[in-house]
């Protein structure tokens, strides 16, 4: 009997290693160093790609719900870094749409330059990168008067709050926020700790330094949600990916409805008073 022929097993493709979206550019993932030059994923890049692809699912739904316009949707990505998120959104949505514009905001000039060069190489002509801070970006002449979607993926400390302020100024229809480290609240809690320990037993929640950071982080995001609701946004809080992929896991989704909530203003003010945070101008609001 003739011997059976054995064919060598094909090496797994990146799509086999991780569920990539249909039509997702392998060349782009290599340029972003998410994939190696031979198309492989290491554990670090696997986590990063999972986060960004999962976040894209939320953003894609939002973009599809936007009313059609002649110019197409606009999206501003704050604290863009190497613009992983912006490039993948463009690759998977804006490229085939044939309209719309993405703005990446980043303070590090070398990252802005490298992102602009990559966009040019890939022919992503409707991507623009601004070398400015999140706080100053709303005043930039390069930005349109209105932005449909604001994103901030791991924008550190008060940069997430600056992104919210930007979204309010630009009348954003949606904001997609994944907060990162939050030091400002912990500093204020720590500053007034002795006084608050005398005033309220609640201060035991942040008496120890580790708890100060944790409570500060949680409280910051609670205040952000109330602040957005007070400005007419419907807010949903969920997790981005499993904890095994990132400890900075909270995802805040805000959709503008125009229904400003006085109850959210009242609760925000009450929390500031209860925690001894009246000096924090970020959250001062009146309707």
Q: What angle do CA 107, 221, 274 make, to 5 degrees?
A: 125
Given this model, what pLDDT does residue 14 score? 46
The predicted model gives 90-101 an average pLDDT of 95
Quickly state the pLDDT bin for 39 (edges 50, 70, 90). confident
Domain boundaries, the chain: 18-180
In order of 185, 187, 189, 236, the CA distances from 216 in angstroms are 5, 9, 7, 20
33-59 b/e (C-beta count within 10 Å ≥ 16 → b):
ebbeeeeebeeebeebbbbbbebbebb
The predicted model gives 1-17 an average pLDDT of 51
Quickly state the pLDDT bin for 241 (edges 50, 70, 90). low
Read off the pLDDT of residues 96-141 as tens digits, 9 standing for 90 and up: 999 999 999 999 999 999 999 999 999 999 999 999 988 899 899 9
Residue 68 has pLDDT above 80, yes or no: yes
Q: How many angstroms separate the CA atoms of 262 and 283, rounded?
A: 14
Read off the pLDDT of residues 177-203 as tens digits, 9 standing for 90 and up: 998 777 888 888 988 888 888 888 988
The predicted model gives 79-98 an average pLDDT of 93
Residue 157 has pLDDT above 90, yes or no: no
The predicted model gives 145-173 an average pLDDT of 91
How many Cβ atoms are within 10 Å of 273's Cβ, its own excluded?
10
Q: Are 115 and 129 in contact (CB under 8 A)?
A: yes
* 142 burial via Cβ count (<10 Å: 0-12, 13-18, 19+): exposed
The predicted model gives 228-236 an average pLDDT of 97
Query: Which of 39-48, 73-82, 117-126 comes out lowest in average pLDDT?
Result: 39-48
**Nearest in space to 115 (alpha carbons), one of 78, 83, 150, 92:** 83
Q: What angle do CA 78, 96, 256 make, to 5 degrees?
A: 45
pTM of the model: 0.87
Phi, psi of 9 (to 5 degrees): -65, 140
Q: Which CATH superfamily is domain 18-180 in?
A: Vaccinia Virus protein VP39 (3.40.50.150)
Query: Which of 2-11, 93-102, 146-155, 214-223 comes out lowest in average pLDDT?
Result: 2-11
**Nearest in space to 259 (alpha carbons), one of 282, 278, 285, 287:** 287
Quickly state the pLDDT bin for 34 (edges 50, 70, 90). confident
Q: Are 216 and 180 in contact (CB under 8 A)?
A: no
What average pLDDT does the chain have?
Answer: 86
Q: Any idea what DSSP says for residue 155? A: -
Q: Are 230 and 264 in contact (CB under 8 A)?
A: yes
Q: Are 253 and 231 in contact (CB under 8 A)?
A: no
**Nearest in space to 279 (alpha carbons), one of 217, 196, 209, 204:** 196
Reduced to 3 states (helix: H, G, I; strand: E, B; else coil), residue 29 is: helix
Quickly state the pLDDT bin for 10 (edges 50, 70, 90). low
Given this model, what pLDDT does residue 240 score? 80
């Amino acid at each position: 009997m003739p011997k059976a022929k054995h064919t060598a097993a094909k090496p797994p493709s990146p799509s086999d290693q991780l569920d990539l979206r249909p039509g997702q550019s392998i060349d782009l993932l290599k340029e972003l160093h998410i994939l190696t030059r031979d198309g492989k994923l290491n554990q670090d890049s696997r986590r990063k790609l999972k986060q960004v692809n999962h976040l894209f699912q939320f953003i894609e739904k939002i973009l599809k719900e936007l009313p059609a316009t002649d110019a197409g949707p606009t999206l501003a990505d704050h604290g863009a870094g190497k613009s992983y998120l912006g490039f993948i959104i463009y690759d998977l949505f804006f490229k085939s749409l044939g309209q719309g514009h993405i703005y990446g905001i980043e303070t590090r000039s070398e990252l802005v330059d490298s992102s602009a060069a990559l966009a040019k190489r890939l022919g992503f002509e409707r991507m623009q990168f601004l070398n400015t801070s999140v706080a100053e970006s709303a005043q930039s002449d390069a930005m349109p008067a209105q932005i449909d979607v604001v994103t901030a993926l791991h924008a550190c400390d008060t940069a997430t709050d600056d992104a919210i302020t930007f979204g309010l100024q630009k009348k954003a229809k949606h904001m997609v926020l994944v907060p990162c480290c939050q030091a400002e609240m912990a500093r204020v809690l720590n500053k007034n700790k002795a006084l608050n320990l005398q005033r309220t037993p609640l201060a035991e929640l942040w008496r120890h330094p580790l708890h100060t950071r944790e409570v500060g982080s949680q409280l910051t995001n609670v205040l952000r949600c109330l602040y957005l609701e007070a400005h007419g946004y419907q807010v949903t809080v969920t997790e981005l990916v499993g904890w095994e992929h990132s400890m900075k896991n909270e995802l805040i989704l805000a959709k503008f409805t125009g229904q400003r909530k006085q109850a959210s203003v009242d609760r925000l003010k009450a929390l500031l008073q209860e925690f001894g945070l009246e000096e924090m101008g970020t959250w001062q609001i009146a309707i």
